[in-house]
Structure 1
Amino acid sequence: MYLNEMLLLGAVLFCIGVYGVLARRNGVLVLMSIELILNAVNINLVAFGAFHGTVTGQIFALFVITVAAAEVGVGLAIVLLLYRNRRSIDLDQVDLMKG
């Protein structure tokens, strides 16, 4: 595969993820969209690493996967607390929890 094809795939995934973050109001779907964005970054890192013939892109991708796992854990905890308090995971109701 060529570098252009991998970068195009990463760009498409990134755009789908950004659309999901901006358009969705469901907390779980927003977390899934953030994961799509991070996976697009991983594809680009691995593609550039393979293009240059080094494993540096794969190493950075492993760090991104580690951060994404921690982000999912914290994000799901916040969504569960939101559901417990409001009986909905609609992100429009987050501002009601001030105070």
Structure 2
Amino acid sequence: MIILRHGLIVSVIIFLLGMSSVITRKNLFFILMGIEIMFNAAGLLLILAGHYINKNEEQIVYMMLMSISASESSICLALLIKLYNLKRTLNIDILNEIK
């Protein structure tokens, strides 16, 4: 059986890695990947909580979370491709100057 404390520690570490990627990166694609890592950490926490209280509803919520995450990432990738075709960059600093 997985100890809840170890699972929480792993989930928090994964979440912090995703958050550090969102904070430090300048490329929109890497920021999107950091957000996806954060979603996966939240999903892992849902699965761990469901396992700890012996319920299966959290697995259903996890599947909904992953489907929402997949649709969000596909829409964002389509927007990033369109933005790259228009401006030839995904750097936040350069795109922020265009107003």
CA contact (8 A) 1:82 1:94 kept: no
**Any gaps of 5 or more consecutive residues in structure 1?**
none
Residue equivalent to 1:28: 29
Residue equivalent to 2:58: 57
- TM-score, normalization: structure 1? 0.92
Which secondary structure does the structure 2 equivalent of 1:89 belong to?
A: coil
**Equivalent residues, number:** 98
Spell out the pairing of 1:68-83 with structure 2 (5 A cutoff).
68-83=69-84
**Any gaps of 5 or more consecutive residues in structure 2?**
none
Which secondary structure does the structure 2 equivalent of 1:10 belong to?
A: helix
TM-superposed deviation, 1:36: 0.5
TM-superposed deviation, 1:40: 0.3
In structure 2, C-alpha distance between the alignment counterparts of 1:66 and 1:94, rounded to whole Å: 30
RMSD of aligned residue pairs (Cα, Å): 1.2
- TM-score, normalization: structure 2? 0.92
TM-superposed deviation, 1:72: 0.6
User: Deviations along 1:71-99, whole A, 9 cap, x unmatched?
Assistant: 1111111211121111111122333454x
1:4 paired with 2:14, answer no
Residue equivalent to 1:43: 44
In structure 1, C-alpha distance between the alignment counterparts of 2:50 and 2:96, rounded to whole Å: 42
